[in-house]
Chain A
Amino acid sequence: MRNAYVYILIMAGVSYAIRVLPLTLIRKQIKNRFIRSFLYYVPYVTLAVMTFPAILHATQSPLSGFLALAAGIGAAWLGADLFKVAVLCCSVVLIAELFPL
């Protein structure tokens, strides 16, 4: 078993480095088109990959996870903010698991 505090310090160090380096070092606009595009797409790809199929295993049954996914996509598409989408997903799972098929 590795040390939990070392894990946390590595996470903290990398998280801060990512945020502080551009802000302190970059004084001009980034020009490279590929890097700009790559950086633009990265958040969407990472979060999408982490969401599915993991959401199906986060709940007690894959069905309730799937329903939460569908509801979350629908609400986010219609413009609900971050907090509302999160609460809706939780509620869907709660209701779905209260009334198992």
Chain B
Amino acid sequence: MEEEQRMKKSSLDRKAFGEGMRDGVPIGLGYFAVAFSLGIAARNAGLTPFQSFLASLLCNASAGEYAGFTSIAAHAAYLEIAIVTLIANARYLLMSCAMSQRMRPGISLGHRLFMAFDITDELFGIAIARPGYLNPYYTYGAVLVAAPCWAFGTALGTLAGNLLPLRLVSAFGVALYGMFLAIIIPPGRKNPVIACLVGICFLASYIFSVWPVTSGWSEGTRTIVLTLVIASGAALLFPRDTEEEA
């Protein structure tokens, strides 16, 4: 009987793995295009294609890597890179918290360690959208397809960013911002607080970039300060109830 259950579970795991790989394909394609533009940012920071490949393979974070590369370009202190990465990736902390609530009781530590490796907006999104407990093999399938696209796309961007005409580099350079917009704009339709918040952030970020007191700060420092101040303000003025978790 126990043997039968184990067989059933293993076939379900294999099915989930296949479904993960299938769902990972469109994500991988999207990653490739965005990673290309990230690779250009890495090149501007003076990284080699191998270094940008390594960074993407290990970090798996668009905004986080972008912020990191910007800081590297400015020869930031190591501590600043750590804080910038922390701030830019803070949303993964929240996603990891959300995933922790959906883990099968008694799941092994190994699964937790591997599932954490590639928590991104998209991979988190497709995993959490499935009913019931999270199946680690579904995540592994999706990661196996999407992660290499991300890493090779970045390396190629760093490599070919040199060869492409300036006009194309300029065009690819905004892909990343397009992706950011696709994350921050849609929730504003349902939640006016977020829509206003985005507007305030644009304005404050612009003011910080031209105001003589703050314009000398690095982009990373400005991002940290603005994030702490604005997100704290929003949390104090518009605290969220447990039930309205998206």
Q: Chain A: residues with CB nearer than 8 A to chain B?
A: 1-2, 4-12, 14-16, 18-27, 29-30, 33-34, 36-55, 58-60, 64-65, 68-69, 72-73, 75-77, 79-94, 97-98
Contacts and interface: CB of A to CB of B under 8 A. Distances in A.
Nearest to A85: B182
A22 B124 CA distance: 14
B86 A14 contact: yes
B82 A85 contact: no
B85 A11 contact: yes
A46 to B, nearest CB: 5
Main secondary structure of the interface of B (DSSP, over half): helix
Interface string B208-246: 010000000001001100110011101110111110010
Nearest to B210: A53
A47 B85 contact: no
Main secondary structure of the interface of A (DSSP, over half): helix
A55 B201 contact: no
Nearest to B113: A20
Given A4-B46, A10-B78, A37-B239, A18 B89 contact: yes
Contact of B87 (A6, A23, A46, A79): A46
B179 to A, nearest CB: 5
A68 B63 CA distance: 18
B167 A44 contact: no
A52 B178 CA distance: 11
Contact of B55 (A12, A14, A27): A12
Contact of A39 (B97, B113, B186, B223): B97
Nearest to B197: A44
A59 to B, nearest CB: 5
Contacts of B240: 33, 36-37, 40
B230 A51 contact: no
Interface stretch (B1-9, B140-148, B169-177): B169-177
Contacts of B222: 49
Contact of B92 (A5, A18, A41, A81): A18
Given A33-B242, A46-B90, A59-B170, 18 more contacts: A14-B89, A18-B96, A19-B95, A21-B96, A29-B101, A44-B201, A45-B201, A46-B87, A47-B63, A48-B202, A51-B180, A55-B174, A76-B184, A85-B182, A87-B33, A90-B174, A93-B173, A93-B174
B156 interface: no
Nearest to B222: A49
B204 interface: yes
